[in-house]
Amino acid sequence: MDRIRIVGGNQLNGEIHISGAKNAALPLMIASLLTEEPLVLVNVPRLADVKQLERILENHGVDIAVHGRRRGDTEMGGQRITFTASDIVDTTAPYELVSTMRASFWVIGPLLAREGHAKVSLPGGCAIGTRPVDFYLDGLRQLGAEIEIDAGYVLARAPGGRLKGASVRFPKVSVGATHVVMMAATLAEGTTTIENAALEPEVTNLAECLVAMGAKISGIGTGRLVIEGVEKLDGAIHEVVPDRIETGTYAFAAAMTGGEVFLRNARPELLQSALDVLVRTGVDVTTEEGGLRIKRNGNGIMPVDVETDPFPGFPTDLQAQFMALMARSSGVSAIKETIFENRFMHVAELARFGANIHVDGQTATVTGVPELKGAQVMATDLRASVSLVIAGLAARGETVVNRIYHLDRGFERLENKLSRCGAEIERIAG
């Protein structure tokens, strides 16, 4: 199993290209199941999760064509991929495919809407909390679906072959449930209203793609979506939004190590809350044409309290990275996790660097230390993995991050991007 070796202490200086967002690319790929015409996605990141979802879609009969570079494309630019679901040959998403990635469960919405039935394994993914699919299934039931769970599979059927528009209100904001119900509603008979819809940029990106395919959706970017169902959707060309979590991750890495990094393709409006927090730590954040410039001033890292919240709040997917930064702050900070109940698994690994962190329920109190020391550490989930890399970049001596397949799920060319900015980092095959 591959590992990443880091020798810490180098500042980061240079430019990092921000890839397309994994959390946007996956639902966009799944949306290809809604139409028999080609859906072309631009700026698709090269990630393990993308490859896994390609296998799942191919199992349903989707033809997938990866296009070569075009004139003007850069080396670090994303992929251009065409997905064509002209004929769905199988409405079953089996356990061996779905169990490795939670987002693959979302195929239930398009399959049910287009084919009138679906059999989808209950999902897997990172072990950061239970993350039940109750909201997904309750939303589909309100659209008229008959649903039962048998032997680990969700069996869903639309009586008469088509879902019916309805008023759906989520008791709690859920990105996945918003994706699933919104996609299903585009082909439902009548009008669907989704109340308490997620506001995340990835949801907006999907909604805009569905509109380009011929869906009728109003209220995009708000907590109330109104979807007027249509008979069929068309093909489209759509671009994956830049990855706000990757943007925040490299911004925190630059703050941790010092130096000056330009994050090309970054869009500040996608993570303004996190950038505001970063400024409070004493880091200079400047919006420029084509991206963001991150520069740590000479006054060290100031402690800041944060609480994770759904967008536009501080993202839970940046909590671990921010905790690594606070481990080197000049005081005490409190980090409260409100989204997932089991997302402090990285604390024990950060402690191996010498970080001083105390967890009480959903709050971690971080007392900054003058120095972190390199260590052997193990990745526990996707975002926790990269927090260990950030700590290793600033730690004295050598760090080895084990079980990095988590990193490959969500960060494209991580070691390549960091080494170009002066980090001493390499992948060790094994």
Question: Catalytic residues, which ones?
Answer: 126
Give DSSP secondary structure letters for 395-422: SBSEEEEE-THHHHHH-TTHHHHHHTTT
How many other C-beta atoms lie within 10 A of the C-beta of residue 267? 18
How many other C-beta atoms lie within 10 A of the C-beta of residue 141? 14
Query: Residue 326: which residues within 8 A CB-CB, separation 6 or more?
Result: 301, 303, 304, 333, 335, 366, 368
Nearest alpha carbon to residue 39 among 202, 220, 209 = 209
Q: Is 317 annotated as a binding residue?
A: yes
Q: Is 172 annotated as a binding residue?
A: yes
Q: Is 174 annotated as a binding residue?
A: yes
Task: Put the strands of the sheet holding 39-44 in their side by side order.
Answer: 63-67, 79-84, 39-44, 236-239
Q: Is 44 annotated as a binding residue?
A: no
Q: Is 173 annotated as a binding residue?
A: yes
Q: Which region, left, alpha or beta, applies to residue 307 given φ > 0 means left and ψ of -120 to 50 means alpha?
A: beta
Q: Is 230 annotated as a binding residue?
A: no
For residue 353, give the 3-state DSSP assignment: coil
Q: Is 196 annotated as a binding residue?
A: no
Backbone angles phi, psi at 220, to 5 degrees: -60, 130
- Compute the CA torsion angle 265, 270, 271, 272 (nearest 10 deg): 100
Q: Is 22 annotated as a binding residue?
A: yes
Q: Is 120 annotated as a binding residue?
A: no
Annotated binding site for phosphoenolpyruvate: 22-23
Annotated binding site for UDP-N-acetyl-alpha-D-glucosamine: 102, 172-175, 317, 339
Annotated binding site: 22-23, 102, 172-175, 317, 339
